[in-house]
Amino acid sequence: MADSHFGATALPPDVIRTLQQGIMNWSYRGRPTWKSPIDLALYTDLLWELRPRTILEFGSNRGGSALWFADMMTTYGVTDGRVFSLDIHPVDDLEDPRIVFGHCDVARPQDALSIADLRNLPKPLLVIDDASHVMEHVLSVLRFVDKALVAGDYLIVEDGILTHLGSDEHYRGGPLAALQIFLAESGMRYAVDRARCDAFGRNVTWNPEGYLRCIRD
Ligand SMILES: C[S@@+](CC[C@H](N)C(=O)[O-])C[C@H]1O[C@@H](n2cnc3c(N)ncnc32)[C@H](O)[C@@H]1O
């Protein structure tokens, strides 16, 4: 990474490793859900503040996170809220009128969705990239959704923590490398939500630098 401070976290390495084991074993309503307890708290607060009418998630796994998002929307009174959750292996064993599961390969998100589709989604829109975590794939999602996001929307890039787990080489730099490129090229359109990233200490989150407000059309 060009900037050695970018993505630096106050979380000690042994704490990251221990928490990661627990996260991989955690489930919500019987479905594996790979969110850290810290990020569940950050998301809870964000969903209340933003009250998105649409959540677009890349990377469904077993649908646990999509179900949790839908339940949070319902709890917060977003009665017409929708979650679109896309994956290369779409979820096919969960029916919920608030959730649409579908196919997408994040190497080519444009094959699954059109920019017009994205622009027509009810706002505010929350987009979450939680798919392959390969640098080029993260960047392809970010560049794609950038064409449709407007001021007031919100973007989350998950799992920059992989760098601190020592596995970013496996992901060709991973989410943090993609974020650095995207933030450099997208000018002033996005602001890293420092209040959120640093709510529990500097980048004490599985998504360091990964909570982004879209601040300009
Ligand atoms: C980290 S998991 C998603 C976790 C889920 N959002 C949660 O919080 O429980 C990553 C998902 O990305 C999917 N995936 C991997 N490569 C992909 C690709 N090229 N395109 C789309 N999805 C991909 C995997 O099938 C897996 O379900």
Q: In this predicted model, what pLDDT tens digit does every residue of 172-190 receive, in sequence order?
A: 999 999 999 999 999 899 9
The per-residue pLDDT for range 105-115, each reduced to its tens digit, is 999 999 999 99
Residue 170 reports pLDDT greater than 80: yes
Domains and CATH numbers, the chain: 13-214 (3.40.50.150)
CA-CA distance, 138 to 94, in Å (whole number)? 26
Q: What is the DSSP letter of 206?
A: S
| Binding pocket residue ranges, ligand 1, CB within 6 Å | 33-35, 59-61, 64-65, 87-89, 104-107, 130-132, 137
Q: What DSSP string runs through 38-88? A: HHHHHHHHHHHHH--SEEEEE--TTSHHHHHHHHHHHHTT-TT-EEEEEES
Percent of the chain surpassing pLDDT 90: 97
The per-residue pLDDT for range 6-45, each reduced to its tens digit, is 999 999 999 999 999 999 999 999 999 999 999 999 999 9
Atom of ligand 1 nearest to the CA of 32: 9
| Other Cβ atoms closer than 10 A to 89 | 9
Rounded distance from Cα 106 to ligand 1 centre (Å): 9
Backbone angles phi, psi at 82, to 5 degrees: -130, 140
215: its two tokens: 């601040």
pLDDT confidence of residue 3:
62
Residue 49 reports pLDDT greater than 90: yes
**Nearest CA, atom 17, ligand 1:** 132
What pLDDT band is residue 1 in, cutting at 50, 70 and 90?
A: very low
pLDDT confidence of residue 47:
98
**3-state class (DSSP) for residue 149:** coil
Rounded distance from Cα 176 to ligand 1 centre (Å): 17
Predicted model pTM: 0.98
Residue 32: strand pairing partners = 27
Atom of ligand 1 nearest to the CA of 159: 1
Rounded distance from Cα 64 to ligand 1 centre (Å): 12
Mean pLDDT of 156-163: 98
Atom of ligand 1 nearest to the CA of 57: 6
Residue 144 reports pLDDT greater than 60: yes
**Nearest CA, atom 4, ligand 1:** 61
- Residue 139, C-beta contacts closer than 8 angstroms, at least 6 positions apart: 178, 181, 182
Mean pLDDT of 137-160: 98
CA-CA distance, 73 to 53, in Å (whole number)? 8
Rounded distance from Cα 57 to ligand 1 centre (Å): 9
Ligand 1, residues 62, 92, 132: which to mutate, most atoms within 8 A of Cβ? Answer: 132
Three-state SS for 127-147 is EEECCCCCHHHHHHHHHHHHC
Rounded distance from Cα 58 to ligand 1 centre (Å): 7
Residue 2 reports pLDDT greater than 50: no
Residue 60 and residue 128 in contact, taking contact as beta carbons nearer than 8 Å? no
**Arithmetic mean of pLDDT over the chain:** 97
Residue 189 and residue 152 in contact, taking contact as beta carbons nearer than 8 Å? no
